[in-house]
Homo-oligomer: A and B are copies of this chain.
């Protein structure tokens, strides 16, 4: 188990020069856990003293809204999760659920904080990540409310294709109902919009397998839809 961290993307990913003693500190205070798709990784409202590093897989971040649970973001490994828990009361501020089989590293909060203090590169890396998240949140907010369903659905498909999977063919990790929840639309509306895309020859589907056949059109719809 010793020196597991040295090879972990957790460290590499931050492209940070960790000192040996810092890596050892990590090694001594973490635990790697596997989650199957559908498993809950972080539960909103629960006390926690860990930062979570998603090593492999994909997860949805969802938060309790006034009337129902709402998906606010879909993330793929590698990435940190649960950072907002670090401040204040150590209560998880949102939930995270695996949407693909995933592997996760629990890092002790105190160790994480100490590392932030000791390693400038590391802390500036985390800072950048947070900036990007905030920006993304703003952008999505503006985008979602200004487009109608087909536009938002196009966005989702493009996000899968370009960011999450990096391929024109992929298997949807979310149900239509979840997609609807994510983009603020009803499940039925998503279904109809999806059917429309198939009809128009923009995508092909068999089960949850999606193949984008007319990406240009999809981008068109994403922009003016």
Q: Could you list which residues of chain A lie within 8 angstroms of chain B, going by C-beta atoms?
A: 61, 63-68, 70, 72-73, 83-84, 86-87, 93-94, 113, 116-117, 120, 123-124, 126-128, 130-135, 137-147, 151, 184, 223-224
Contacts and interface: CB of A to CB of B under 8 A. Distances in A.
A71 B32 CA distance: 41
Nearest to A73: B138
Nearest to A87: B128
B131 A63 contact: no
A142 B72 contact: yes
Contact of A151 (B66, B123, B134, B145): B66
A132 B146 CA distance: 25
Given A66-B151, A117-B120, A117-B124, 11 more contacts: A64-B142, A65-B146, A66-B142, A66-B224, A67-B146, A67-B147, A73-B138, A116-B124, A123-B124, A127-B127, A133-B134
A121 to B, nearest CB: 9
* The 7 nearest A-B residue pairs measured at CB: A65-B142, A137-B137, A70-B142, A130-B130, A145-B184, A117-B120, A65-B146
A144 B68 CA distance: 12
